[in-house]
Amino acid sequence: MRTKEKLILFAANANKRKGACLLSRTEGDSFVLQEEVSIAISPFLFVKELNPIAGMQEGVKMEPASDSNLSVPLRRTERPLQLGLFRNSEEEKTIVETKDTIPLHWKKVTEREWNDWRWQLRHRITTLDQLREIIQLTPEEIEGIKHSKGRLALAVTPYFVSLMDPVNPNCPIRRQAIPRVEELHLSKSDMVDPCGEDKDSPVPGLVHRYPDRVLLLITDQCAVYCRYCTRRRLVGSTERSITEGNFEEVLKYLKKNRKVRDVLLSGGDPLLLENERLEEILSRLRAIPHIELLRIGTRVPVSLPQRITPGLVKMLKKYHPLMMSIHFTHPKEITDAVKRACNDLADGGIPLGSQTVLLKGINDKAPIMKKLLHELLKIRVRPYYIYQCDLATGTEHFRTSVAAGIQIIEKLRGHTTGYAIPTFVVDAPGGGGKIPVEPNYLVSREKGKMVLRNYEGKVYEYPEPNIIEFKKARASGEEKVGTKKVMAQP
């Protein structure tokens, strides 16, 4: 057999990023698929120093480039990949590829599959038997899973399950995603629609509570169903996106209401829509002249970071100003994959903010919350809101006191950078909207002064301007100026 020659097949468009298939040619002009790579195509590109992938057979049909395989980082034994233009050795660069570890339970899964967001969605863990193979479940969890149907379904991506401690039921990732028997308990404070969204919905899928902004629910599907979800009455019921008919009704409403300048896309999770469908929604909203700002509320960068592909980011960039609020809960969620996803979004010019629900036994201690907020800043996500847990049905075991949230803010303010301090809010039950709740730094308000305290508990007085004396002085000054003008006339 002759020495193998390395070839690359690629799409003709040199200005776009495409998937390229690396082949080796052997005797008889048969080809063996060696590896798929994602590179910036040039008609003069050549590749050398690449190894064949073991186990691949001749005649393997190559899959065309798609949004999913473009996003897959190569993960194999570290070897240099040298790319050059015009065979100029001085311009050749060495690229060291990183390798992430696929959990043992999925050892038969290829690295390309693991990094494909569609594969992750198709292989979500949704049954008790599946979960038993991965995690040592407690009786409370087993009972909760058995009764989850008809309430809020169990569905967790393999990626998110891989972050769970398989033996510790108090693992913060595990507690968020695995049903427990406590969900069967109904508190007298529980509400089916705790934020009163249904009563503020003028057309299906749209919530209009505040004067200049609306909430648009475009899907009921999530990658992972959080057990404390405030919309558990809706999510997971059909796992479908908004119908064309309902979306047309939304557009008609928005065009008539010219005060609306801000649209927040939520669900479910908007980023689970295919790029084409999501772009259709964004483009038609952007075409309304008085819509100034588009926002996306999502948990996908945390529970399914593989979804943040170059194709998605490229599409989103076309609809600036566009902002994104990402649901983070615990520092353990910030993995290398999540860091890459957030950095890619930030590099696309998308301002990122975090929304965190305060959860008992998960993130209700100041050191844990501070760690989360610091880690968020490091990946260019600005802490935005901490929410008091809503009164959704079956979530009382997640709720802390409001005082616990105030205490966390007390231990943040003055003790860390202001950029790391979110606003703590209570979404008023029944539809009152977000109400900020902060420590009381105003000690008293007296005539002519304000008495304040700082983060150390020290008290200071701030003199208020004397409005009456100020008005008298200004009036007196105007009279003197008027007299001088009269005397100056000939």
Distance between CA 199 and CA 417 in Å, rounded?
39
- pLDDT (tens digit per residue) in 22-45: 443 333 343 344 444 433 333 333
- pLDDT (tens digit per residue) in 359-369: 999 999 999 99
Unique residue bearing structure tokens 């891989």 = 162
Name the residue ranges covered by the structural domains of the chain.
Answer: 5-95, 104-177, 188-436, 445-490
Q: CB-based burial of residue 298 (10 Å sphere; 0-12 exposed, 13-18 middle, 19+ buried)?
A: buried
Q: What percent of the chain has pLDDT over 70?
A: 76
Distance between CA 148 and CA 140 in Å, rounded?
12
The more confident residue out of 441 and 94 is 441
Annotated catalytic residues are 209-210, 213, 222, 226, 229, 231, 390, 427, 434
pLDDT computed for residue 427 by the predictor: 96
- The token duo for 12 is 């003709």
pLDDT computed for residue 437 by the predictor: 97
Q: What is the mean pLDDT of residues 316-327?
A: 98
Q: What is the mean pLDDT of residues 244-272?
A: 97
The more confident residue out of 459 and 31 is 459
Fold (topology level) of 188-436 = TIM Barrel (3.20.20)
* CB-CB contact of 278 with 242 (8 Å): no
* CB-CB contact of 372 with 363 (8 Å): yes
Q: What is the pTM of this model?
A: 0.77
* Element holding 343 (H helix, E strand): helix 336-347
450: left (phi over 0), alpha (psi -120 to 50) or beta: beta
Distances (CA, A) of 326 to 277, 303, 334, 342: 21, 11, 12, 9
For the cut 50, the answer to whether the pLDDT of residue 371 exceeds it is: yes
Distance between CA 470 and CA 378 in Å, rounded?
48
For the cut 70, the answer to whether the pLDDT of residue 383 exceeds it is: yes
User: If you ran DSSP here, which 8-state letter would residue 298 be given?
Assistant: E
Q: What percent of the chain has pLDDT over 90?
A: 71
Distance between CA 370 and CA 420 in Å, rounded?
8
Q: Which residues contact residue 287 at a Cβ distance below 8 angstroms, ignoring those fewer than 6 apart?
A: none
Confidence of residue 475 (pLDDT cuts 50, 70, 90): confident
What phi and psi values does residue 103 have, to the nearest 5 degrees? -55, 150
Q: What is the mean pLDDT of residues 188-195?
A: 96
Confidence of residue 468 (pLDDT cuts 50, 70, 90): low
Q: What is the mean pLDDT of residues 308-320?
A: 98
